Structure 1
């Protein structure tokens, strides 16, 4: 995702009282989707998404950041939120995560375990009886794995 777009949108979302958790662009041309995940300590309701969507749409219309059409989506990161930055992992130490790597680490690309520690851009993930150190920059996809108590 363009750093310019992130720098443009983050202050708007922050000024509205939310955290811009993640920003992604999916697809191309007429099927292009710009997706913003917003968060707050109180959680996110539909009205929050609508408020951010109105402000971001207005800003993007004025800035004309792209000559292509796009569909804007604003939502909560959800219980299985994407984990992208070291700060995201840091916030959820002790929680479970699913991580897919671009290239194999110790012979595997898919990991499922507990976030043990974060050192710089390295995440220590405990899987069964082993600990793997995984670089956030080498992760294709990472999500929090909600645990439901019975």
Structure 2
């Protein structure tokens, strides 16, 4: 397991009791490098949406626990936020909740010279995702070729 995956796993373990206490959902945890900074991000949600006050409350609790446990060796910026409009689908519950909704899919390897697809999420299983691109076309995509799948949104 990579170091960043271990950081994410341990952070998730710290967050789960907080999520249960507040009746929030932990959508994702990521430890990433952007430019010269590293970020530890927790994405949280609840029915009706997350507020800034919700994020602040969780951030304060998590920050205290992170200081106490001190398992991340390098400097990082802690962020707690909503997953946003274009939330990625990562866990099985994300796929189940998004059935029938419009999604955007980005693939690692092109399929017929195309790496990005959009459509209605019809089905999924451990190996494939099926989207309905239009009335007559369903596209079955291999999950191991999916770099990102997220809810589509328009402004």
Do these two structures clear the TM 0.5 threshold for a shared fold by scoring above it? yes
The residue number in structure 2 matching 1:132 is: 139
Unpaired segments of 5 or more residues in structure 2?
none
Q: 1:47 to 1:97 in 2, by over 3 A?
A: same
Write the deviation string for residues 29-76 of structure 1: whole angstroms up to 9, x where unpaired.
Answer: 961011111000131111000001011111111111211111111111
Write the deviation string for residues 67-113 of structure 1: whole angstroms up to 9, x where unpaired.
Answer: 11111111111221111123212111111011111122454321111
Q: Does 1:144 align with 2:151?
A: yes
Separation in 2 of the partners of 1:21 and 1:10?
Answer: 11
Separation in 2 of the partners of 1:85 and 1:134?
Answer: 17
Separation in 1 of the partners of 2:42 and 2:64?
Answer: 15
Separation in 2 of the partners of 1:62 and 1:102?
Answer: 39
Separation in 2 of the partners of 1:72 and 1:19?
Answer: 18
Q: Does 1:43 align with 2:71?
A: no
TM-score by length of 2: 0.83
Question: 1:20-39 maps to which residues of 2 (within 5 A)?
Answer: 20-27=26-33, 31-39=37-45
Q: Tell me, what secondary structure is at the counterpart of 1:27? A: strand
Separation in 2 of the partners of 1:9 and 1:138?
Answer: 30
Greater alpha carbon shift after TM alignment, 7-16 vs 63-72: 7-16
TM-score by length of 1: 0.85
1:121 deviation in Å? 4.5
The residue number in structure 1 matching 2:91 is: 85
Alignment RMSD: 2.2
Unpaired segments of 5 or more residues in structure 1?
none
Q: 1:125 to 1:5 in 2, by over 3 A?
A: same
How many residues are matched? Answer: 148
